[in-house]
């Protein structure tokens, strides 16, 4: 079996042009060599996997090639390059051995290059022993120090070095390089799959290539987004899109179910909530064409972000980021971390809720609104035929009482005719399944006396008074929000909001029952319309009631101020 070489070694840059994401540093070093302006002590600092040691090796090879005429490109001058691992050679004796070697000139080429990796691991005594040699080395010696933690190096060493700060490689640069590697390796890779690998690498090319090898071993020559997310245990952005849709719909029950599903896949709640804050940030960035370029995502994902950003308001995103960040900060110190995340999700889902007024910034939609979250259909008329040998029964009308709907999903009313033959037993079985009381009514036998609009208005007011007497002030104010108008046997009411419409729909069966019985006419129906432009006539919250009273008596404001009264 042929020996496998990892991509990080196989595709290690051999020239400065091959180095990814460090153009400023490579150009500086090339010009320094060309102009003979290279310092004798260089310090390469930056995160892991960004090319520090690679650039040191390329530089060591390059300066010796420049010093010899017609030098071969294949000549690596290995005898002139010495690499020292300061992590395991950090004592004074190790540095003294190094300084003793420095005095010996090179046999081939012009320079001896000493590359000291992880130089911050040297002891204090070793640093002091190295000072004199580093400040006044022989003309043939060049020191290249590499470290990931510059702050641990003593200032006297830093002052003797020319410092080059390597930056993290951008996600786009890593993705493009991986695309080149995949092409060379004959791997068909999705753009989104490579983007996830680049994000996971966190600016380190070596990590990116290691992850690339791993997922190629897992999925073979076809690299898909699903395979990458599954192998790396990365929470796919599709999950964030789905849960954001649920939050925008104020669907708390399904949001909690979705979060439980994410936890059951092995993901950490802390990782999820921080990712949700980042998702909201990306949606905020996607709302403006001038900032879309800040999205570090693939082309397909960018379209999804732009599409969802149009659904989410600025207020929702800003408050959502605030609550997600607050949860992120409190997560580690929390005793019940799952509950903390669930509370944050419920608060975010309640941001856009347009139901009852709330002043608390931590408001959560009350549970009563989700009791009947799955809305049943109201069947006004069902025609059925019960087979009795050769005889056929007359058509009967089935009226099903309207269930209490959620304000999130308005009741859907449909009229259907069943042509198939249904027996009374089948209706009873269906009733048991749905747990719905079915009342069979024959309208032809029910009274349908004539009535006037004045009578309707009188019974309407009587029903409102009854609600007030029972202490149901909220629904009473909604029923009394508009004066009903009569159109044939239909009572028409117009309300200023869909929320009020949903509340009146819940009360509709009781209202109709009362009015039908009082007027002795069972063909009466109630039609509810919404006109959000209509002016609001009634106050529902204490603040609104106070404003109404203040309009009638301006001295009320002064009275409240002097006595320091609450609303």
- Alpha-carbon distance of 282 to 303, in angstroms, equals 12
Cα–Cα separations (whole angstroms), residue 242 to 40, 246, 254, 269, 474: 57, 7, 11, 17, 34
User: pLDDT truncated to tens, each residue of the chain (567 aa)?
Assistant: 567 788 888 888 888 888 988 899 999 999 988 888 888 899 999 988 888 999 998 888 888 887 676 666 666 677 788 888 888 888 888 888 888 888 888 877 788 899 999 899 988 888 888 888 888 888 889 999 999 999 999 998 899 899 999 998 888 889 889 999 999 888 888 888 888 888 888 888 888 899 998 888 888 888 888 888 878 877 878 889 999 999 998 889 999 999 998 898 888 899 899 999 999 999 999 988 888 888 877 777 888 889 999 888 898 999 999 999 999 999 999 999 999 999 999 999 988 887 655 566 778 877 777 655 444 334 343 344 444 444 444 433 434 444 334 443 433 444 444 444 444 555 555 555 455 444 455 555 677 788 888 888 888 888 888 888 888 888 888 888 888 888 888 888 888 888 788 888 888 888 888 888 888 888 888 888 887 655 455 555 677 778 778 888 888 888 888 888 877
Give the angle subtended at the CA of 382 by the CAs of 376 and 384, to the nearest 5°: 135
- Alpha-carbon distance of 255 to 264, in angstroms, equals 14
DSSP H helical ranges for 383-440: 424-434
Cβ contact 280:320 at 8 Å? yes
Which helix (DSSP H) or strand (DSSP E) does residue 494 occupy? strand 490-495
Strands 485-487 and 490-495: antiparallel
DSSP conformation letters of 63-110:
HHHHHSTT--TT---GGGEEEEETTT--SHHHHHHHHHHHTSPPSSSS
- Alpha-carbon distance of 101 to 104, in angstroms, equals 6
DSSP H helical ranges for 312-435: 314-330, 337-349, 424-434
Residues, the chain, total?
A: 567
Q: Kindly report the backbone phi and psi dihedral angles of residue 461, in degrees, each rounded to the nearest multiple of 5, phi listed first.
A: -65, -35
DSSP H helical ranges for 331-452: 337-349, 424-434
pTM above 0.75, yes or no: no
- Alpha-carbon distance of 52 to 166, in angstroms, equals 7
Give every CB contact of residue 270 below 8 A, 6+ residues apart in sequence.
Answer: 328, 331, 332, 337
Per the rule left: phi > 0, alpha: psi between -120 and 50, beta: everything else, 488 is left
Give every CB contact of residue 9 below 8 A, 6+ residues apart in sequence.
Answer: none
Per the rule left: phi > 0, alpha: psi between -120 and 50, beta: everything else, 266 is left
* Secondary structure class of 51 (helix, strand, coil): coil
């Amino acid at each position: 079996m042929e020996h496998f070489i990892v991509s990080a070694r196989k595709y290690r840059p051999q020239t400065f042009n091959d180095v990814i994401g460090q153009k400023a540093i490579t150009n500086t070093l090339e010009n320094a060599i060309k102009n003979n302006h290279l310092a004798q002590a260089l310090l390469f600092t930056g995160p892991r996997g960004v090319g520090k040691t690679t650039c040191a090796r390329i530089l060591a090879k390059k300066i010796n090639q420049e010093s010899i005429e017609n030098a071969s490109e294949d000549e690596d001058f290995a005898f002139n390059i010495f690499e020292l691992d300061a992590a395991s050679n950090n004592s004074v004796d190790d540095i003294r051995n190094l300084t003793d070697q420095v005095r010996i000139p090179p046999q081939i080429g012009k320079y001896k290059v000493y590359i000291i990796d992880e130089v911050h691991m040297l002891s204090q005594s070793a640093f002091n022993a190295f000072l004199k040699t580093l400040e006044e080395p022989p003309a043939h010696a060049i020191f290249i120090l590499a470290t990931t933690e510059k702050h641990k190096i003593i200032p006297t060493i830093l002052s003797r070095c020319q410092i080059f700060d390597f930056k993290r490689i951008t996600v786009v640069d890593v993705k493009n390089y991986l695309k080149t590697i995949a092409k060379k390796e004959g791997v068909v890779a999705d753009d989104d799959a490579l983007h996830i690998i680049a994000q996971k690498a966190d600016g380190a090319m070596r990590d990116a290539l290691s992850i690339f090898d791993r997922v190629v071993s897992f999925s073979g020559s076809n690299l898909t987004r699903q395979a990458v997310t599954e192998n790396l245990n990365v929470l796919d952005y599709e999950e964030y899109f789905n849960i954001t849709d649920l939050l925008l719909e104020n669907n708390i029950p399904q949001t909690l179910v979705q979060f439980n599903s994410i936890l059951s896949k092995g993901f950490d709640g802390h990782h999820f909530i921080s990712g949700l804050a980042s998702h909201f940030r990306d949606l905020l960035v996607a709302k403006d064409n001038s900032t879309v370029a800040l999205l570090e995502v693939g082309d397909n994902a960018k379209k999804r972000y732009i599409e969802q950003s149009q659904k989410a308001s600025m207020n929702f995103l800003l408050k959502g980021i605030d609550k997600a960040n607050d949860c992120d900060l409190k997560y580690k110190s929390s005793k019940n971390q799952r509950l903390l995340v669930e509370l944050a999700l419920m608060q975010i889902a309640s941001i856009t809720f347009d139901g009852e007024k709330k002043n608390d910034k931590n408001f959560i939609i009350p549970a009563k609104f989700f009791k009947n979250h799955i809305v049943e259909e109201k069947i006004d008329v069902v025609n059925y035929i019960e087979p009795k040998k050769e005889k056929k029964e007359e058509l009967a009308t089935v009226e099903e009482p309207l269930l209490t709907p959620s304000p999130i999903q308005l009741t859907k009313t449909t009229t259907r005719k069943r042509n198939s033959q249904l027996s009374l037993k089948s209706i009873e079985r269906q009733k048991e399944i749905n747990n719905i009381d079915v009342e069979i009514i024959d309208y032809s036998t029910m009274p349908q006396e004539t009535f006037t609009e004045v009578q309707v208005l009188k019974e309407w007011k009587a029903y409102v008074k009854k609600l007030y007497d029972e202490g149901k002030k909220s629904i009473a104010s909604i029923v009394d929000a508009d004066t009903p108008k009569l159109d044939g046997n239909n009572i028409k009411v117009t309300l200023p909001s869909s929320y009020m419409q949903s509340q009146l729909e819940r009360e509709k069966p009781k209202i109709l029952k009362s009015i039908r019985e009082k007027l002795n006419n069972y063909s009466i129906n109630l039609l509810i319309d919404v006109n959000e432009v209509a002016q609001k006539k009634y106050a529902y919250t204490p603040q609104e009631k106070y404003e109404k009273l203040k309009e009638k008596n301006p001295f009320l404001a002064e009275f409240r101020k002097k006595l320091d009264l609450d609303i």
